[in-house]
């Protein structure tokens, strides 16, 4: 029996994954900031006849995370898979975004997974096995325009995850990075604001929101990401990076083939139609809404 802790499970990818993994026979503990937020998760689990165990864990509070992990270890004696899924968005160009916003986004998107990993790793090392799945984003591989705080946090988590993969391999612990593209989740509806102090970056924000508008016309589904979690944790041919969702393969696969000069030139293109045509040429991805 696989014992799994997934964070940020009250909505979106986390909720779908918690239910799907329980349906695959795992014992799933699903973290959220308050049990009051778990009604939709409970309803989704009941609908398919599975049990998901809610636990309280605040990603910015190590004591809260330690308590949740302790609760699971007391009940099950082990944790086999940690899925660091909880995260927040963060729109804004570098000039206009307050440093406090960078700090807040980093605290959830980078420090949260680190806190959770540090909490479960002593038990995983003792049992000589385990899998940690860190959910980043395509924005962890490309510097998505107009999303500096989010990009910074996801690039940082990518780097930490690469290091962890090497550090933990001698202990029999697998690390996997899952990089979703556009997926239909609640975070998309919440992620519609951006600082707009100078008016100098209308073009950047226009590109950002048109990109997501295009993706949301045919987004990936949270259940598809859940399937990737399962495969990443169970495959007998493990790999470090996995991608899914609208634009995922094209963006993560295409960016290494695009020169830095072409990338910067793309950002300088003011004509929307020309920009989207060039993006299609470079990445093979149609971002026209």
Q: What is the DSSP letter of 92?
A: B
Which segments of the chain does DSSP mark as H helices, in order? Answer: 12-23, 39-48, 62-76, 99-106, 112-127, 148-168, 186-190, 202-216, 222-234, 248-254, 260-268, 272-283
Other Cβ atoms closer than 10 A to 162:
14
Looking only at the bridges linking them, the beta strands covering 52-56 and 173-180 are: unpaired
Q: Which of 150, 201, 205, 275 is catalytic?
A: 150
Q: Which residues contact 254 (CB under 8 A, 6 or more apart)?
A: 282, 283, 284, 285
Asked about 150 being catalytic, the answer comes back as: yes
- C-alpha distances (whole Å) from 22 to each of 184, 226, 264 are 21, 11, 45
If phi > 0 it is left, if psi is from -120 to 50 it is alpha, else beta; for residue 134 that is: beta
In which element (H, E) is residue 53 found?
strand 52-56
Q: Please say whether the beta carbons of 220 and 249 come within 8 A.
A: no
Residues labelled catalytic: 150
């Amino acid at each position: 029996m696989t014992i799994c802790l997934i964070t940020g499970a009250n909505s979106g990818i986390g909720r779908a994954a918690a239910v799907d993994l329980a349906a695959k026979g795992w014992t799933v503990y699903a973290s959220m900031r308050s049990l009051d937020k778990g009604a939709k998760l409970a309803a989704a689990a009941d609908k398919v006849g599975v049990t998901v165990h809610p636990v309280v864990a605040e990603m910015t509070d190590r004591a809260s995370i330690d308590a949740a992990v302790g609760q699971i270890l007391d009940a099950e004696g082990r944790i086999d898979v940690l899925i660091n899924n909880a995260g927040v968005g963060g729109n804004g160009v570098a000039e206009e975004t307050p440093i406090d916003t960078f700090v807040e986004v980093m605290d959830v998107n980078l420090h949260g997974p680190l806190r959770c990993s540090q909490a479960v790793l002593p038990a995983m090392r003792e049992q000589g096995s385990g899998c940690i799945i860190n959910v980043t984003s395509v924005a962890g591989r490309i510097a998505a325009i107009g999303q500096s705080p989010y990009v910074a946090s996801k690039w940082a988590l990518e780097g930490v995850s690469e290091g962890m993969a090497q550090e933990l391999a001698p202990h029999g612990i697998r690390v996997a990075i899952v990089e979703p593209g556009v997926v239909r989740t609640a975070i998309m509806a919440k992620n519609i604001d951006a600082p707009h102090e100078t008016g100098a970056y209308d073009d950047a924000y226009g590109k950002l929101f048109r990109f997501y508008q295009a993706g949301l016309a045919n987004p990936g589904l949270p259940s598809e990401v859940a399937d990737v979690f399962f495969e990443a944790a169970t495959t007998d041919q493990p790999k470090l990076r996995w991608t899914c969702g609208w634009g995922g393969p094209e963006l993560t696969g295409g960016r290494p083939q695009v020169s830095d000069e072409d990338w910067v030139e793309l950002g300088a293109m003011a004509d929307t139609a020309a920009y989207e045509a060039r993006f299609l040429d470079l990445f093979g991805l149609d971002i026209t809404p």
